[in-house]
Structure 1
Amino acid sequence: MSYAPECFLAGAMNTRDLGGIRAAGGRTVAKQKLIRSGELSKVTDDDIAKLTHIRLKTIVDLRSPAETSLKMDIIPDGVRYVHCPVVSDLVPGITRESIEDPYDGLKRTDYARDLREGGMAKMRSLYPLLVENSNAVKQYRRFFDCVLENDGDGAILFHCAMGKDRAGVAAALLLYALGASMKDIMADYMYTGICCAEKIRRDTDACRSLTGDESLLESVYWLNTTHESYLEAMFESCIRQCGSVDRYLAEKLGITQNKISRLRSMYLE
């Protein structure tokens, strides 16, 4: 990857600036403009100060209604909040619940049991749904609308629960529209495994205290981490549906060449 991201919020997981990634025409994504993250229910006063410093204007929350009720974002004063629930119901492998006691750990183990038959393959089957399901497509279209509407002098932050799946797909599609290489798009996606390493360890340990079944524990791992094949499956679905990723952006998300030019004018330097 052409940059070294920093996970810069103490109270939120996997928060990082897309600034510095190489994009179209030899330019790079402008710093402190496009921020991807996990949920914001525990951000600190120092975190709020950092978000204020970068002139955060908009937060796009990609979580389900149940997730937002369980852990409400802390919204800095004056920041626009937009809820775009890419997934409306509980989807094992996509929606997230925290593991803070054995009962939560047991629920995560139940998720893993659902994935036991083919663990990684099951996750690969979930990612295409994020660009095929009509509601998901509608919400990603709204996400792009927010990015295009954002104040050119301010930042936009988008997130899901861990900042891995729904936010990962949003970041990948946005970076593609900005002209980033597939190599750099994938590197950014995979960086979640580094930012969330402690979370992944905690989740696995919580389940290990409830079961010695190594296949379940392996499924928990693949539920919580990233793998190149997941994002590849998403892009393959875009191509399968429309013939190319560019046509998918235009036909499904309304991101025409005009809008791509606007995005690049707004967010590249």
Structure 2
Amino acid sequence: MSSAPGVNYRMPRASGLRHGILHRSGDLTAITAEEAGVLVARHGLASVLDLRSDAEVERYGPPSGLLAHGVRWLRAPLTGYPRDTIAARRPGVGDRTRYLHGILTEAAPGTWPRLFRTLAGAADRPFLLSCHFGKDRTGVVVATLLALVDAPPHEIAADYAAGMADLIAKADRFRDKWLRRGHTREDYLSRLHTSPVTMERWLAEVTARHGGVEGAMETLGVAADDVSRVRRLLAAEAPAVVYPGQPAGAGDVPEGLR
């Protein structure tokens, strides 16, 4: 295999983040059993936190490749937020920033507390966060986690933007989405853009409105103990764990998937 697994897969790298603990992707069904086997063997991947709605799981299916290798499938649907902010065929940075803020503040009641309870029980071992594209819901959750370990905004924004090339290269996998919405392929490619400016603006808004992501979690009713545990487990000073088959100094992308 010559490329990363699935769609929009990567291991975020940011100051303050424990190496190898956090993975992210889009479309869990795109990760093959062979790719999943490499992720488990070389990185000790133990759990996947699926942010997709029940309807999305019913339409697209479970993460079969990961399940075949014993990875725990944890459901934490992130739903209920408004979508009209990106209703335009080619939404701009302002539209996208409002959309991300809706995911944070207008999700269904109890969504974020449930998500952090799940994270608190899973983040002691390497885990994968994913939604459908791996850029908006996953982007907001990953940005929140990176901010909790004090990663600087420019690094968080760079991680958010890093998946655009892979999404665009594999856009035809999502053809049903643009056909259902009456969009052209060119329209949909524009919707896959993940500018770092969008994330930088969103982070600035979170700071202005809530004093930062920790203040936002408090407003949303997330238990302080869960926030503290998740931060501790993700922090760079957390003890490193070497898993069977994982060579010392293994890179972000498994050798067999480069």
Q: For the structure 1 residues 253 and 158, does the alpha-carbon distance in structure 2 shift closer, same or farther, using more than 3 Å as the test?
A: farther
1:8 counterpart = 2:1: no
Which residue number in structure 2 is paired with residue 71 of structure 1? 60
Give 1:49 shift: 0.9
Which residue number in structure 1 is paired with residue 104 of structure 2? 131
Residue 126 of structure 1 aligns with an amino acid whose one-letter code is Y
Residue 8 of structure 1 aligns with an amino acid whose one-letter code is A
Give the length in aligned residue pairs: 228
| Structure number with higher relative contact order (C-alpha < 8 Å, ≥ 6 residues apart) | 2
Equivalent positions of 1:1-269 (< 5 A) are 8-9=4-5, 12-18=6-12, 20-23=13-16, 29-53=17-41, 54-72=43-61, 73-74=63-64, 75-88=67-80, 91=83, 114-116=87-89, 119-135=92-108, 138-150=110-122, 152=124, 154-200=125-171, 219-252=187-220, 254=222, 256=224, 261-267=228-234, 268-269=236-237
Give 1:168 shift: 0.6
SS of the residue aligned with 2:30?
coil
Q: Distance in 2 between matches of 1:168 and 1:46?
A: 26
Deviation string for 1:90-122 (max 9, x for gaps)? Answer: 94788xxxxxxxxxxxxxxxxxxx404865543
Give 1:44 shift: 1.9
Which residue number in structure 2 is paired with residue 102 of structure 1? none
Q: Which moved more, 1:117-126 or 1:180-189?
A: 117-126
Paired-residue identity, %: 23
| Runs of 5+ unmatched residues, structure 2 | 238-258
Give 1:42 shift: 2.9
SS of the residue aligned with 1:162?
coil
Deviation string for 1:51-82 (max 9, x for gaps)? Answer: 32122222111112221112122124433222
| Runs of 5+ unmatched residues, structure 1 | 1-5, 24-28, 95-113
Q: For the structure 1 residues 33 and 180, does the alpha-carbon distance in structure 2 shift closer, same or farther, using more than 3 Å as the test?
A: same
8 A contact 2:80–2:107 mirrored in 1: no
Q: For the structure 1 residues 115 and 34, does the alpha-carbon distance in structure 2 shift closer, same or farther, using more than 3 Å as the test?
A: same
TM-score, scaled relative to structure 1:
0.70
Deviation string for 1:218-264 (max 9, x for gaps)? Answer: 643331111234324533453454343331133325263x6555334
Give 1:182 shift: 0.5
TM-score, scaled relative to structure 2:
0.73
Q: Distance in 1 between matches of 2:3 and 2:119?
A: 21
Q: Which moved more, 1:33-42 or 1:181-190?
A: 33-42
Q: Distance in 2 between matches of 1:143 and 1:199?
A: 28
Q: For the structure 1 residues 119 and 241, does the alpha-carbon distance in structure 2 shift closer, same or farther, using more than 3 Å as the test?
A: closer
Deviation string for 1:163-188 (max 9, x for gaps)? Answer: 11110111100000011111100110
SS of the residue aligned with 2:56?
helix
Q: Distance in 2 between matches of 1:248 and 1:89?
A: 16
Cα RMSD after superposing both structures: 3.4
Q: Distance in 2 between matches of 1:79 and 1:207?
A: 31
8 A contact 1:124–1:233 mirrored in 2: yes
Residue 85 of structure 1 aligns with an amino acid whose one-letter code is P
